[in-house]
Structure 1
Amino acid sequence: MNAACGTTLADRLADAVARINAPDVVLAVTRHGVRTVLTGGSALSPPTPRHALRYELGSLSKTFTVLLLAELARAGALALDDPLSAHLPPDLPLPHPHARRITLWHLATHTSGLPRIPADLVAGALLRPYDNGYAAYDTERLLRTFARTRPRNRPGTRWRYSNFAVALLGPALSQAAGAGYPALLRERVLGPLGLTGTTLGPGATGTDAVGHRTNGVTPVASADMGAFAASGAVRSTPGDLLGYLEAHLSPEGTPLSGPLRDVQVPLLRRGWRHRHTHTLTWYHHPAPHGPLLFHLGATFGQQAFLGYHPATHTGLAALATRRGRTCRLTDTAYDLLYALAGEPTL
């Protein structure tokens, strides 16, 4: 806990931690670069302190992948409006006309028309929700499945959240830049931002948080995302996540200033009566003094939230080793960040 942020903020964080129902909980706030981190949970403290563990980010990984996309676009390796097919094997058959019209922009913004997950994963996900169907799903299978998938609507006409779509950015970015997705992410995003505690796989024994089922007791195996790495494989420490948020809040102080600004520009409206705004990768909601940007993530046994409010230079990372509505992480984190957005900072 950082006394420089004041007792009031620390007390509010402690109250929020207590409302989140999970074995391990971390809430971390940065305000004008001053950090406050509180931890708690229903389980005994692990041997490695909770604030030092690496947590599975699930769909929050998409923000890292799309930042990589924006960086490669700035570097001239690709263009956001490039057809996806231009960065896939040339002999891949694409019989559905809509599939040939999908661009990298469509994939990033969930407007490709592709379903949330491939059809061949649906039955297993419904019948065995804690079995990891992603682990055995390699890139060759991902591309074959894409080739035979008919988009549900013409690209660019409807917002439909899709792990499948962002997963395809992995091989597309690799083809465009001539290196594997893990190497590209390390060299073009994680390294320049100094995120040394962020990886695409497990770390050394004892450094990774252990997820749990919805009962909060039964442990869940570490999530191997296979070819869906671009959609959900990133793991990170609370400290790195604060650094990631601070980079978005102060892009000009980083080597990725252009891409960090690009991913925050409002691009489309979605939802009922188009009430909700979306950037290239972040949800974009109205808040006091200016917009609030955020994203959620979950794996089979963990849950995460990242959000920031540029007007007050405030960022919040929330992590829990349990997922589901009864965890209450998402609502608690969002409400806290919204409240902080309405308060003046020093």
Structure 2
Amino acid sequence: MTGNDLPWLALDDLSVGLVSVGRTPEPRREPEAELDARLAAAVDAVGAPDAVFALSRHGRRLVRSGGTAPAPAASRAERRYEIGSATKTFTALLLTRLIDTGAVTGSEPAATLLAPADSAPASPATLAHLITHTAGLPPLPRDFYVNALPAWRTNPYARYPAPRVREAFLRHHPRHRPGTRWRYSNFGVAVLGLALSAATGTTWEELLAAEVLHPLGLADTATRGDHVRDAVGHRKDGVTPTPGFDAGGFQAAGALRCTPNDLLTFLEAHLQPAATPLREALTAVQRPVLRRGLTHRHVHTAGWFRHPTEGGPMYFHSGATLGQQAFLGFRPDTGTALAAVCTRRFGARDPFIPTAYGLLAGQ
């Protein structure tokens, strides 16, 4: 990638140029029984101990669950699942919401919020750079692996708390000017969460609850584990259980646990922003802000990957923890949203993401 392959569209102010998410599409006529069968086939294809595929089309929901493990006492669909990096879509919405309310502009350098007394911060990266993975940060702090290694197979992130994330960022000298290169970074979004907290005097967890979860009615979404309600993750063998995920200082990048129904509610809000209290923020978070790659074919918004389909754009994001995976996506052109979760961490040949992506792309 060269330094000139990121054409920006008002990146420094994510509230500028709000656009419509598209026309109201005509309902598709696929019989419900056929769609239900496709969801059931997707659950079977994943081959995880627990799997749930939840789909909404024009507000009508279909949920199918199953798995290789014995059925739990409570419904799989009512459990909370670790969504890992899909948490970033919630943090992106939080940022656009705070821009909408005037709490921040998006153009503030994160370092000036985290260390206001520092007259010469190492990095000029702004909040907008952090959410779009263009801040010049690596995926994880340089010393993360040394600290995490003793707990690599249990909870590596728990060994890297928020103060360490903050200090690692304030010490980091980017090799490239922020805004010139794209590199996916858990580090960057974790710093964003801390910067929003510093800007408002409120923790990321409390901010998210007040500005996103409560307004959208997401009562079954949380950052803290609950052994009664949470699904148990498994390693690649699909048998060995993993402990509940502890995000440490990376909460904004991967801490959320959600039920499939809450995930559908979250996605449905993106399909119908005007029907929610977060209309402007939900619209802004879908606006393309950069293109990258050869011929600039990869399009990103503040928080979502955006791929073209025959009828219009498809938005999606996946996530994984040590023992669980998630896929979130929606298509405004067909009024379709898909939330898929499973309790198994797959390897390179991963059937989960292609199955979920293909299901949404075919709607």
| Sequence identity percentage | 50
* Kept after mapping to 1: 8 A contact 2:193/2:251: yes
Counterpart-to-counterpart distance in 1, 2:42 and 2:192: 36
The question of 1:336 aligning with 2:362 is answered no
Alpha-carbon separation, structure 1, partners of 2:195 and 2:92:
12
Corresponding residue of 1:343: none
* Other-structure match for 2:9: none
Say if 1:110 and 1:165, in contact at 8 Å, map to a contact too: yes
Count of residues paired in the alignment: 333
Larger relative helix fraction = 1
**Structure 1 pair 72–95 and aligned structure 2 pair: CA distance change class (3 A):** closer
| Alignment pair present for 1:45 and 2:68 | no
Using the TM superposition, give the Cα deviation of residue 274 of structure 1 relative to its aligned residue in structure 2, in angstroms. Answer: 2.0
* Alpha-carbon separation, structure 2, partners of 1:128 and 1:186: 30
Q: Cα offset for 1:327?
A: 4.6
In the alignment, structure 1 residue 276 sits paired with structure 2 residue 302: no
Alignment deviations for residues 242-298 of structure 1 (CA, whole Å, 9 cap, x no partner): 100100000000000100000000110123332110001100000121000000100
* 1:162-201 paired onto structure 2 within 5 Å: 162-201=185-224
Q: 2:93 and 2:339 mapped to 1: Cα distance?
A: 18
Aligned residue number for residue 116 of structure 1:
139
Distance across 1 between alignment mates of 2:103 and 2:31: 42
Give the 3 Å change call, closer, same or farther, for CA 92–296 of structure 1 in structure 2: farther
Identify the match of residue 79 of structure 1 among 86, 105, 117: 105
**Residue 321 (structure 1) aligned to one of 338, 343, 347:** 343
Q: What's the offset of the Cα at 1:130?
A: 1.9
| Alignment match of 1:54 (pick from 69, 77, 80) | 80
Q: Which amino acid aligns with 1:280?
A: A
1:204-223 map, 5 Å: 205-223=227-245
Match of 1:146 in 2: 169
Separation in structure 1 between the aligned mates of residue 327 and residue 319 of structure 2, nearest angstrom: 6
Aligned partner letter, 2:220: G
Query: In the alignment, is residue 230 of structure 1 matched against residue 252 of structure 2?
Result: yes
Instruction: Give the Å deviation of 1:180.
Output: 1.1
Equivalence for 1:23: 49
CA distance in 2, matches of 1:212, 1:113: 33
C-alpha contact (below 8 Å) 1:29/1:315 kept by paired residues: yes
**What is the CA–CA distance in structure 2 between the aligned matches of 1:124 and 1:171, rounded to whole Å?**
20
- CA-to-aligned-CA distance 1:98-119 (integer Å, 9 cap, x gap): x1x2000000000001000011
- What's the RMSD between the two structures over aligned residues? 1.7
Opposite residue 151 of structure 1, the aligned amino acid is P
**CA distance in 2 between partners of 1:127 and 1:151 (Å):** 28
Determine if contact 1:92/1:147 at 8 Å carries over to the other structure.
Answer: no
1:88 Cα shift? 1.1
1:245 maps onto 2:283 in alignment = no
1:302-337 C-alpha deviation (Å, 9 max, x unpaired): 000000000110000110101124451100000010
Q: Which of 290, 305, 315 in structure 1 is aligned with 2:312? A: 290
Secondary structure of 2:221's partner?
coil
Q: 2:91–2:253: 8 Å Cα contact kept in structure 1? A: yes
Q: 2:23 — aligned with what?
A: none
How far 1:127 moved relative to its partner?
Answer: 8.2
TM-score (norm 2): 0.88
Is the deviation greater in 173-182 or in 235-244? 173-182
**Contact 2:49/2:343, CA 8 A, preserved across alignment:** yes
Deviation at 1:89, TM superposition (A): 2.6
Alpha-carbon contact 1:302-1:323 (below 8 Å) kept: yes
Contact 1:116–1:162 (CA under 8 A) maintained in structure 2: yes
Q: Which runs of 5+ in 1 are unaligned?
A: 341-346
Secondary structure of 2:64's counterpart equals strand
Q: CA deviation at 1:210?
A: 0.3
8 Å contact kept, 1:283–1:295: yes
